[in-house]
Amino acid sequence: MDIGDVMEQQQPNRGTSATISQMDILQTLIDISRIITTSHNLEETLENTVDLIAERMTVDVCSIYLYDDQQDNLVLMATHGLDKQAVRKVQMRASEGLIGYVIEKRAPVNEVDVMKHPRFKYFPSINEERLASFLGVPLIEHRKTLGVLAIQNQESRQFTQEETKLLLTIASQISGLISKALLVDLLQHATDGEQAPARPADSFQLSGVPIAPGLAHSKIVLYTRARLDEPDYRAERPPDEERASLRRALDESVSEILDLIQELTDKVSETDAAIFHAHLLFLEDRGFLNKVDAHIEAGASAAWAVSQVVRDYLKAFQSIDDPYLKERGADLEDVGFRVLHHLGAEREAGPAGDREGILVAELLTPSDTARLDPTKIKGIITTIGGHVSHAAILARSMRIPAVSGIEHLRTMFVEGEDVLVDGETGNVFVNPGDAVINVYQRYEESHAQFLSHLEDLRDVPCTTKDGQRITLRANVGLTQDLGDIGRYGAEGVGLFRTEVYYLMRNTRPTEDDLAGQYAKVMEAAAGQPVIFRTLDLGGDKFPSYLHFPKEENPFLGCRSIRYQLRRQTLLRDQLKAILRVAHMGQVKLLFPMISHLDELHHVKRIYNSCREELLERGGELPRLDIGMMFEVPSAVIMRDLFAGEVEFLSIGSNDLTQYVLAVDRNNPHVSHLYDPLDPAVLIMIQQLIACAAKFGKPIELCGEMASDPEGCPVLVGMGLRELSMNAPLIPLVKDRLSRYTLTEMERLADIAQHSTTAENVRRNIHLFLHD
């Protein structure tokens, strides 16, 4: 269960609580107020509070978890009835367990037997067998979720309505006071100065961000990357000699990168090695080189000029909101480090040398990761680096489990100590005990069996329990995703995100560049359908070289098809490149974010013009099926007009949810309102499905909703037969859909559409699937 660590000592079963009088309730609230006003710090406040609640409500366990909405993380801060050493060590994501379920629902969760609940999750070192009944309520202050107050008993029973009301009353009483205590605690730490937390004694658990799946158990190998000192500004040679030195360093860097690409191609794959082509682009970028040359002309040394321009670029990268683009800063730093080395700076030969174990480092560049030996380095723990970083992509390709986001590495980790890394959940266990190790060994065995089951599903068509055929395709953006098409049994590409190639470059690709890239996609698809979506840039993602306008609200501004129609040469290059590879297989064309009929007419005219231009160059061209994405409410409302103009319909559930609910899911203040299973979104999806049937047109849905284990059965029940998702999730969706008949999923869809809120939809889905 997600309620702490091992029980301290076996306590007598308290049984069903006696009826609580109004006087007892009043006295309890008075006593809690006294505790909060007389306690000296946050820990003391919370500890005294859970002790009092456990005593007055006669329960075996009472715990308080605090929620960090920035990290989406829950931490056990106080407990009565559990091992006190679990405090601050037991952490979980808001998507995990019943405690996380309370956060998601923002409402009470009352369960007779937690082991039977679909949200139950086993956390290592926690004694589920002793605890059954669960009641958790959210701590909310001014609509901000602060955490969860939970009670439990060892016996299986339903907590009464009276007990639920009492716990809700207590929660409302203490939420504001906890909020103030948190503020005082924050101010206290701020005035004390920033210090690294003390290292817990013996074994302990940390929670980070999972970036490469798998389990690893070995010894800690600490690594500190070499930091180059700032080179001297003043050049000792004339500018021409500094430029010659720079040219040699650039040539040596290019040669080194080409060798690395070949080495990685042999070790992993050509698509993964292609990551380093972005490094070559940096070295050839005229804007970058011109800035370096300007500093040299002004009297700076080549080394100082490179160092300064790299620093300026890194500052620009860090100001970008898009996480994918921000992670590209590590690539630039890697390139700068390499060039400076060839200008005379020293650097380490490799991140770990011949050492074996779990590599612990603040940051790993792509080059650092590429030089790792997977037979020696069993896992990776870092502070910096997200899921879309090139280092993370390489770690996944090399099958090295990795966790990022772990702070204070030098305080928490000691060379040679034992550590267990869980790349699935982001959990890290330092000096894990036998109980943790045994749990993970059992988990590995069961997980291996499940993966074997999924592997068996790879080449099996997706069908419901009663044989209804469902087509599952892959969403693809990165070159390295292409290998996933066959690896996970995708039936082609349901969405190729053409903008990712633009985002990875520092210069605008030519028609020939695009045609070469798209040819690789067609080869990987091996004759199966490929749907190319034209550029969906703008909002929170755009390359600097395209000079997007600065807007107050870019998501409602000049993005996607609107930008393409303003920069028609971009659209024409894409369309001609797609037409040039259309003979290689089944190609379809998809236009994003169409909101008005004249936009669709305009892009179709441009398409016909591009086709005529290529026909004049010579050769036969197939005529492509043209579709549009329904992701704007106005398009859904006018769906009949649009359906008559296209060959197929595609539902972009991510943006449709955002625009229907008027919620930016990246905004922490409102992200809790974002849910594609909201009845308003479901109604629009149902209208589009009915429209497609009316016109006899194929319809697909691409977006996170397609792979949501709760969402995909609803979508099939509503009538969708084509779904597109990230390829690694396809076997999981196959497994989920094969468990239910079409009739059952149709009943589920009807229940979902007649629910009143997204919370009700998910609650009803849980109940239905649980039954």
Residues forming the active site: 390, 702
Name the 3-class secondary structure at 747.
helix
| Residue of 483, 487, 451, 542 whose CA lies nearest to 215 | 451
C-beta atoms surrounding 471 within 10 Å: 18
| Residue of 362, 434, 376, 445 whose CA lies nearest to 404 | 362
* CB of 121 closer than 8 Å to CB of 2: yes
And the tokens for 485? 């098409």
Detail the DSSP E strand segments found in 3-118.
61-68, 73-80, 91-93, 109-111
* CB of 422 closer than 8 Å to CB of 215: yes
Report the C-alpha gap between 714 and 749 in whole angstroms. 5
Query: Rounded to whole angstroms, what are the CA distances from 659 to 384, 534, 549, 665?
Result: 32, 20, 21, 11
Checking 118-121 for CB contacts under 8 A at 24+ apart, the result is 118/766, 118/769, 118/770, 119/766, 120/1, 121/2, 121/96, 121/97
| Residue of 78, 24, 31 whose CA lies nearest to 50 | 78
Sequence-ordered alpha helix ranges (H) in 371-529: 390-397, 409-412, 434-457, 484-487, 499-503, 511-525
* CB of 135 closer than 8 Å to CB of 167: yes
Looking from the CA of 430 toward its CB, the CA atoms found within 13 Å total 24
Among all chains, which residue has been given the structure tokens 């030519």?
Answer: 510
Sequence-ordered alpha helix ranges (H) in 57-160: 97-105
| Sequence-distant (≥ 6) Cβ neighbours of residue 56 within 8 angstroms | 20, 24, 28
Sequence-ordered alpha helix ranges (H) in 285-433: 286-297, 302-318, 323-342, 366-370, 390-397, 409-412
Q: Are strands 469-476 and 493-497 parallel, antiparallel or unpaired?
A: parallel
* CB of 391 closer than 8 Å to CB of 362: no
Report the C-alpha gap between 355 and 344 in whole angstroms. 27
